[in-house]
Every structure is written in C-alpha cells, then in structure tokens.
Amino acid sequence: MAASRLAASALCVAAALAGAVEAAVLIVRHYPSGDGLERLYAGIFLGFAAGVAVLCASLFAPGAGQACRRACLWLLVLTPALWWGRAG
C-alpha cells in the first residue's frame, strides 16, 4: 500500500514538473511581447506558479488515483498545444 502511494506521488511530481516546463515553453513562445527577456521571465514565473498550483491540487486529492489524474490532466492539453505551436 505504501509503495503504491509512493509511486503515485512520484508520478504526480513528475507530471507537474513536465507540465510546468511545457507551460513555460508555451508562454515563452506565444507571450505577446517584443522583448525576449520579458517573455523568458513570464515563462519561468508563470510556469512555476502553474506547477505549484497543480501540486497543491494533487495534494488535496482523496486518493492516489485521483491525485495522478489531477496532475496528468493538464499534460493532455499542453502537449498537443506545444506540438501545434512548433509547426506554425
């Protein structure tokens, strides 16, 4: 039981980290600013804030499966958006 909870926690942290990186890359690419440094700062700080928000939402999930779903759900949205943005 404890091993499955530990594995679920590791998956939640990995999914939140991957999603935060994807969010940061999307913000850096599509932030409406001419200054590259502003886009970089926006990507870093907003990506970090989004990752912390997802980790907090997963922390209050009633079970391990629900926590993993909450952490991995935004990867379903961000991954296609990241690949779609590359083609354009």
**Mean pLDDT value of segment 18-32:** 86
Alpha carbons 38 and 61: distance in angstroms, whole number: 35
- 43 is in which domain, residue-wise? 2-87
pLDDT above 70 (res 1): no
The count of domains in the chain is: 1
List Cα–Cα distances, 19 to 2, 24, 33, 60, 79, in angstroms.
Answer: 26, 8, 23, 18, 8
pLDDT tens track for 43-77: 899 889 988 888 888 888 888 888 888 888 888 88
For residue 11, the SS3 value is: helix
Which of the two residues, 59 and 41, has the higher pLDDT score? 41
List Cα–Cα distances, 48 to 7, 54, 63, 66, 71, in angstroms.
Answer: 23, 10, 25, 22, 14
Residue 31, token pair as written in the block = 């932030």
pLDDT above 50 (res 30): yes
